[in-house]
Structures are given as structure tokens and as C-alpha cells.
Amino acid sequence: MSDLRIISLLPVATEIVCALGMQQNLVGRSHECDYPEEIKSLPVCSSATVGNHQSSREIDNKVKEILSEALSVYTIDREKIKQLQPDVVITQAQCEVCAVSLKDVEQALSGFLDKQTQIVSLEPAQLNDVFENIRQVAAALNVPDRGEALIEDLTERVDIIRHKLKFIEAKPSVACVEWLDPLMVSGNWVPELVAIAGGKSILAEQGKHSPYVEWNDILLQDPDIIVVMPCGFPIERTLREINILLELPGFNDLKAVKEGKLFIADGNQYFNRPGPRIVDSIEILAEIINPKQFIFGYEGEGWIKFAV
């Protein structure tokens, strides 16, 4: 175990590896892996063909164009990976847009490495899948007991929130905005996180991919709370494009806006990373949806209230 060599091509996988106490075994990372801070010094084994400096609309158009041509949004540095000689490479099969995919890794490394390398692929759709992914990585790294201990700790934190909200019947409707232009709402695990935190997610189903929606759909739902959490965007990046939302017809007439319940959350560090910090994401939502019951201390860093 001590000489196991791990490359993570997925930010959430890097977080899982570190949470399992195996950080010293990481020998390479993806261009997006940035947590914990210490892993930033590791060799980078991938790059993106779409720049984050572009607007939301430009990013969406470019990604659709690339995928329509059966190409990848990401490039894998095969030579770098060969130099690093990993025993385990961790990637994902959840979303070709979000990170290096299983298909990319298999194509890049097929018959290329000088040793037998195990490829671990994660594909979470809801909260239990996240815990299973932790179990899966722990098994691949030969530390199953650490995996169970981590899952137990995370589950306890979730149970504390569930217990505290057990007798609160009010379930405010929550619009979780995953992309600003074109408009998308958060699917996959996010509706479940909202439910645990005491709300009811609108226009998206638990365990299903995030859907594109029409602005009129949100107007008709008139949610009690709006949380803007664009995929891959920190708060300051979202603030650069928040006017896309603010200038939509009827925006100021929404109940959430009139009652001061418009929030911006860090989608990059929390909601788009289905790993150990998925529970931090639930705690953030609990602070937003039920502020009288919960103060975990994420405000200002994990989320902000936005005054129109």
C-alpha cells in the first residue's frame, strides 16, 4: 500500500483519496484538481480544450460543437502518465463535459503503459452513489476500513440535519440554477441535497441529469428560494455573469427576489463535486433554507446572499 502510485483525473477523486489518508500516494492529477491545497504541486496529466475565460453561452456552444464531432472536451497527457507509471488511475463516466471521461482514459492508455494499471471509474447520480464511490476507491487502494469510517462520519453529519428538521413541515420551493446561459437547473444529487436540507427542488429530478429549462418555467413555479450554483464556477466567476439572470423579464417580480432569498453558491468547490464535501453542500443548503436552525459558518466563503 505504501508504494501504491495513484493518478486522479477527477477533482472529487483527489478529494476522496486525500480523505482516505492516501495523499502521499498521489503522483499525478488533472488540471482541475485544486483541493486540498497541497496537491497543486503534483504533475498535471490533463488539459481542457474549452477556456473558462469564455462566457457561459460561448462555453456551452463550444462544448456542444466538440461533442457533436465525437471529440473530447479534455486532452490526456499520455507521456506524462507513462512517466509516472501509476498503479491506479481514477476517472469518471458521469459527464463528458465535467471532467476527463472513462472513454478518454481507456483510449489514451490502451496498450500504452508498461505495467498493469487499474482504472477506477466513478458515476454518481445521487447521495448513496457518492458513498459507494468512496467505498469503491477505498477498495481499489486497499484501505476498505478507512472508507467505511469516512462514510460513517459523513452519514452522521447528514443524520444530524435530518433529525433537526424532522418536525418542520414547511418545505420551501428551491430553484438551483446550474448554468446561466442557456438556463439549466441542477439535477443528479442536488434535488436530494435540497430535500435533506428542508426544501423542495423544482424542475429537476433526483438521480437524473441536469435539464435545460425555459425561463417561463421558473416564472410559473415562482420559487421561494433561488440558489445560483453554476457548474465549475466559484462565486466571483458567477458574479461576472449574474446580470444574465437579473435582466430576464419578470425577474424582479419573483417571490424569492422580492423576499431577499436570492443566493450565489460556490458550484465549483461544493455542489459539482460529489465526494466528501457533498455533505458540506447539504450544510450550505441547510443554512440557506433553514437559517434559524443552522449556522455552520459557510456564509461568505461557500455562499453569499445577493441583493438585487
pLDDT of residue 285: 98
Report the percent of the chain where pLDDT is more than 70. 85
pLDDT of residue 70: 43
Q: In the listed set 119, 152, 185, which residue is the last one of a domain according to the structure? A: 152
Mean pLDDT of 21-33: 94
pLDDT of residue 66: 47
pLDDT of residue 109: 67
Mean pLDDT of 152-171: 95
CB count in 10 Å sphere of residue 291: 11
Does one domain contain both 147 and 182? no
pLDDT of residue 77: 85
Q: CA angle at residue 147 from 141 to 149, to 5 degrees? A: 145
Has residue 164 been placed in a domain?
A: no
Of residues 170 and 223, more confidence is placed in: 223
CATH code at 49?
A: 3.40.50.1980
pLDDT of residue 71: 40
pLDDT of residue 67: 47
pLDDT of residue 118: 87
* Domain range enclosing 261: 170-305
Has residue 202 been placed in a domain?
A: yes
Q: In the listed set 124, 152, 180, which residue is the last one of a domain according to the structure? A: 152
Q: In the listed set 152, 183, 210, which residue is the last one of a domain according to the structure? A: 152
pLDDT of residue 61: 65
In the chain, the number of structural domains is 2
Strands 88-92 and 118-122 turn out to be parallel
CB count in 10 Å sphere of residue 159: 11
Least confident of 65-74, 120-129, 168-177, 200-209: 65-74
pLDDT of residue 50: 60
Q: Is 129 helix (H, G, I), strand (E, B) or coil?
A: helix
Does one domain contain both 126 and 206? no
Chain segment 90-104, per-residue pLDDT in tens: 987 655 444 455 566
Query: What value does the mean pLDDT of the chain take?
Result: 88
Has residue 163 been placed in a domain?
A: no
Q: Does the pLDDT at position 120 exceed 50?
A: yes
pLDDT of residue 55: 78
Q: Does the pLDDT at position 141 exceed 90?
A: yes
Compute CA distances 193 → 211, 235, 286, whole Å.
17, 19, 9
Q: Does the pLDDT at position 218 exceed 50?
A: yes
Does one domain contain both 234 and 112? no
The amino acid that residue 14 corresponds to is T
Q: Does residue 196 contact residue 282 with C-beta atoms inside 8 Å?
A: yes
Mean pLDDT of 135-160: 97
pLDDT of residue 56: 74
Question: What's the CA gap between 153 and 115, in Å, rounded?
Answer: 36
Q: Does the pLDDT at position 222 exceed 70?
A: yes
Q: Does the pLDDT at position 143 exceed 50?
A: yes
Does one domain contain both 268 and 294? yes
pLDDT of residue 267: 94
pLDDT band at residue 69 using 50, 70 and 90 as cut-offs: very low
pTM for this entry: 0.90
At 60, list the grid cell.
Answer: 456551452
Q: Does residue 99 contact residue 76 with C-beta atoms inside 8 Å?
A: no
**Neighbour-count burial for 176-196, b at 16+ CB within 10 Å, e otherwise:** bbbbbbebbbbbbbbbbbbbb
Question: What's the CA gap between 30 and 42, in Å, rounded?
Answer: 9
pLDDT band at residue 199 using 50, 70 and 90 as cut-offs: very high
Report the percent of the chain where pLDDT is more than 90. 67
Mean pLDDT of 221-233: 96
